[in-house]
């Protein structure tokens, strides 16, 4: 269900923990699975659980508890904008409004062409860089003026 | 101290850290076989207090670890930095990850731990990858792993990432999360020093706490203490966000006046008037600007003023801020992040958010402020972890200090600060120095 490369990555994560604690690698394994497949359907979570020799329900609990896992399909690029108070004081809400207007969608929506999904994020621990947003969970974009948002969306549109 | 000399893209590399004097403390300890007690005594003398928020004396915490316990013992570093306003650990890991690795390795030596994990906030995934790179460098150089620097001391250290759950910053939730479970806090006691990761004795410290350790070992506990003020040893990173000209991290001695810190951050944006400050991360009680201007930045002064130094996250709000709206956003955060385990917190945070939300939206009722106080009273002290308290303290303090603004909302069904003024005050702002 997952590529050899993903499985090798998961194996490297398993090796970080004591031999009888494979389950500790579940967060990384779900992340690796999500990067390959785009989101986490039930069968994929079950596959990860079997690979780590843990009950599927325990893996599902983890996938549904942590909010960076996507249990439903998302667009090719997921953009998460922080609107928490420190960011909001420096334009986080305005930046989010600008992205909404540019993409023509609201939070938790995906553009009709399936390219972009927009999410509202909680504190990313980068308040000094406000406005801050995350692209596909792993790329943090700091000091997002409207010009930088334009540039970012144009770059992502080509990918 | 921790961030001194960390300029440029290569500051994080092992070579650069060593050029700044890095790993000299670890090398000396391993070569001289420094007694474990001597390291803990030095830390106690430094009066280093936990930099994650609670301010618990680190030396004392280390002394709780049952060193003679024959089985596995663990160390964990809490880099799950998600308290709104706090962004210091990200910069420490970005610019000086080896100070954390060296600090953890010295801690492992002092407490006899053979294995450690650094739990890094999921949203800063690039920093997690950098920490992995720094670990690889340290392993290659024989600074972590088996037989460190040719001695009989071994310590394995790994990185573990979160994936979007504020609650994992709570130390027992963090341990659950490393075990591959939902991050729901454990009932205490037993404390992690006796029953921690995988049920084994474990010590958990914040990133900045570990990063301070090599410096303390080099300069001596007393010299570190004297950098700050009595009972508030050393330097501390303060993360300043909000309505200032230069948001960012500032590493200054504990006891520095708030007014000086504000000046370092370029003063108030647009020369506007200071209204309120949250001095220690979103969970700490808000203080009126005038009270804050008389405070010094240390645990005791902020506590005397009725708040907490917490993680050192200073959220500055000017006169364009609507305090009801500000609280509404924070209350939403706690509602969203409550893990759902304890009823008073799971239900209470929802009540707090909904009531503040209706006040902000002109639907407030006359007795809503009493209702808010009643809900917080029913949350505080009745939950397993501190998230319930953390959700309650902002509500209580906002209502206490800015009650008139809340009453105005309820009575007039609108903000005291006109919407266009609020909007103008919180436009997208990027400091020219960024």
Beta-sheet strands, E only, within B7-135: 74-79, 115-120
- What's the pLDDT tens digit per position in B204-258? 999 999 999 999 999 999 999 999 999 888 999 999 999 999 999 999 999 999 9
Q: Contact B368/B407 with Cβ under 8 angstroms?
A: no
Question: Are B340 and B412 within one domain?
Answer: yes
Q: What is the 3-state secondary structure (H, E, C) of chain A?
A: CCCHHHHHHHHHHHCCCCCCCHHHHHHHHHHHHHHHHCCCCHHHHHHHHHHCCCCHHHHHHHHHHCCCCCCCCCCCEEEEEECCHHHHHCCHHHHHHHHHHHHCCCCCEECCCCCEEEEEECCCCCHHHCCCEEECCCEEECCCCHHHHHHHHHHHHHC
In this prediction, residue B124 carries a pLDDT of: 97
Q: What is the CA radius of gyration of chain B?
A: 22
Alpha carbons B105 and B98: distance in angstroms, whole number:
10
Question: Are A81 and A153 within one domain?
Answer: yes
- What's the pLDDT tens digit per position in A4-21? 999 999 999 999 999 999
Where in the sequence is the domain holding B360, given as residue range(s)?
323-421
Question: Are A60 and A126 within one domain?
Answer: no
Q: Average pLDDT of chain B?
A: 96
- A88 assigned to some structural domain: yes
- A117 assigned to some structural domain: yes
Q: What is the mean pLDDT of residues A24-44?
A: 98
Alpha carbons A65 and A72: distance in angstroms, whole number:
14
pTM (2 decimals)? Answer: 0.97
Question: Are B294 and B329 within one domain?
Answer: no
Nearest residue, CB atoms, A91 vs list B122, B182, B426 = B426
Report the DSSP pairing between strands B115-120 and B156-161. Answer: parallel
Boundary of a domain, candidates B227, B251, B270: B227
Boundary of a domain, candidates A21, A39, A65: A65
B338 SS3 class? coil
B114 SS3 class? coil
In this prediction, residue A27 carries a pLDDT of: 98
Boundary of a domain, candidates B203, B227, B251: B227
Q: Which residue, among B322, B323, B183, B313, has the nearest Cα to B250 in the 3D structure?
A: B313
Question: Are B286 and B417 within one domain?
Answer: no
B316 SS3 class? strand
Nearest residue, CB atoms, B163 vs list A21, A68, A94 = A68
Question: Are B28 and B148 within one domain?
Answer: yes
Planar angle of CA A135, A141, A145, nearest 5 degrees: 120
Where in the sequence is the domain holding A15, given as residue range(s)?
4-65
Q: Do B329 and A146 touch (CB under 8 A)?
A: no
Q: Do B239 and A128 touch (CB under 8 A)?
A: yes
Q: Do B242 and A68 touch (CB under 8 A)?
A: no
- What's the pLDDT tens digit per position in B343-395? 999 999 999 999 999 999 999 999 999 999 999 999 999 999 999 999 999 99
- A143 pLDDT exceeds 90? yes
Chain B interface mutation, best of A40, A89, A102, A134, highest count of B Cβ atoms under 10 Å: A89
Q: Work out how many domains chain B is built from and give that number.
A: 3
- B427 pLDDT exceeds 90? yes
Alpha carbons A90 and B35: distance in angstroms, whole number:
50
Q: What is the mean pLDDT of residues B271-292?
A: 97
Q: How confident is the model at residue A98 (pLDDT cuts 50, 70, 90)?
A: very high
Boundary of a domain, candidates B200, B227, B254: B227
Q: How confident is the model at residue A2 (pLDDT cuts 50, 70, 90)?
A: very high
Structure letter (DSSP) for residue B145: B
Alpha carbons A111 and A73: distance in angstroms, whole number:
12
Q: How confident is the model at residue B434 (pLDDT cuts 50, 70, 90)?
A: confident
Q: Do B427 and A26 touch (CB under 8 A)?
A: no
Alpha carbons B273 and B420: distance in angstroms, whole number:
17
- B411 pLDDT exceeds 80? yes
Chain A interface mutation, best of B121, B145, B163, highest count of A Cβ atoms under 10 Å: B163
């Amino acid at each position: 269900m997952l590529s050899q490369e993903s499985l090798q990555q998961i194996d490297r994560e398993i090796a970080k923990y004591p031999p009888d604690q494979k389950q500790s690698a579940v967060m990384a394994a779900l992340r690796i699975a999500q990067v390959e497949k785009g989101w986490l359907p039930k069968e994929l979570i079950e596959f990860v659980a079997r690979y780590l020799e843990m009950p599927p329900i325990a893996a599902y609990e983890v996938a549904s508890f942590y909010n960076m896992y996507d249990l439903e399909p998302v667009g090719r690029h997921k953009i998460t904008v922080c609107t928490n108070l420190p960011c909001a004081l420096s334009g986080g809400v305005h930046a989010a409004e600008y992205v909404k207007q540019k993409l023509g969608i609201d939070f938790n929506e995906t553009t009709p062409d399936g390219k972009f999904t927009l999410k509202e994020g909680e504190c990313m621990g980068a308040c000094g860089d406000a406005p801050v947003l995350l692209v596909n969970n792993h790329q943090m974009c700091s000091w997002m003026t409207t010009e930088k948002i334009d540039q970012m969306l144009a770059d992502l549109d080509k990918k | 101290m921790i961030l001194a000399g960390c300029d440029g893209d290569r500051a994080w590399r092992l070579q650069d850290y060593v050029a700044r004097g890095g790993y000299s403390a670890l090398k000396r300890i391993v070569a001289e076989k420094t007694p474990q007690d001597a390291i803990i005594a030095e830390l106690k003398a430094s009066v280093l207090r936990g930099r994650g928020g609670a301010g618990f004396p680190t030396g004392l915490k280390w002394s709780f670890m049952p060193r003679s316990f024959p089985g596995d013992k663990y160390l964990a570093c809490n880099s799950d930095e998600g308290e709104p306003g706090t962004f210091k650990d990200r910069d420490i890991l970005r610019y000086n990850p080896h100070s954390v690795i060296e600090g953890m390795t010295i801690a492992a030596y002092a407490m006899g731990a053979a294995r450690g994990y650094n739990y890094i906030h999921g949203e800063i995934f690039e920093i997690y990858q950098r920490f992995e790179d720094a670990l690889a460098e340290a392993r290659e150089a024989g600074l972590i792993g088996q037989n460190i620097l040719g001695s009989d001391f071994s310590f394995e250290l790994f990185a573990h990432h979160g994936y979007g759950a504020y609650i994992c910053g709570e130390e027992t939730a963090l341990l659950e999360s490393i075990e591959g479970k939902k991050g729901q806090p454990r009932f205490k006691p037993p404390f992690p020093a006796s029953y921690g990761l995988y049920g084994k004795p474990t010590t958990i410290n914040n990133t900045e706490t570990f990063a301070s350790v090599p410096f303390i070992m080099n300069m001596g506990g007393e010299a570190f203490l004297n950098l700050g003020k009595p009972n508030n040893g050393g330097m501390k990173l303060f993360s300043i966000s909000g309505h200032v000209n230069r948001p960012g991290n500032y590493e200054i001695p504990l006891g520095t006046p708030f007014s000086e810190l504000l000046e370092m951050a370029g003063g108030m944006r647009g020369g506007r008037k200071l209204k309120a400050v949250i001095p220690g991360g979103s969970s700490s009680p808000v203080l009126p600007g005038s009270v804050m201007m008389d405070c010094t930045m240390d645990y005791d002064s902020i506590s005397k003023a009725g708040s907490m130094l917490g993680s050192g996250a200073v959220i500055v709000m000017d006169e364009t801020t609507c305090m009801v709206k500000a609280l509404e956003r924070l209350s939403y955060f706690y509602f969203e992040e409550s893990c759902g385990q304890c009823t008073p917190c799971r239900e209470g945070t929802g009540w707090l958010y909904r009531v503040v939300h209706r006040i902000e939206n002109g639907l407030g009722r006359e007795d809503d402020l009493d209702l808010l106080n009643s809900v917080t009273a029913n949350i505080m002290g009745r939950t397993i972890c501190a998230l319930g308290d953390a959700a309650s303290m902002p509500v209580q303090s906002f209502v206490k200090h800015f009650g008139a603004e809340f009453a105005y909302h309820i009575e007039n069904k609108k903000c005291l600060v006109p919407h266009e003024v609020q909007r103008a005050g919180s436009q997208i702002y990027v400091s020219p120095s960024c």
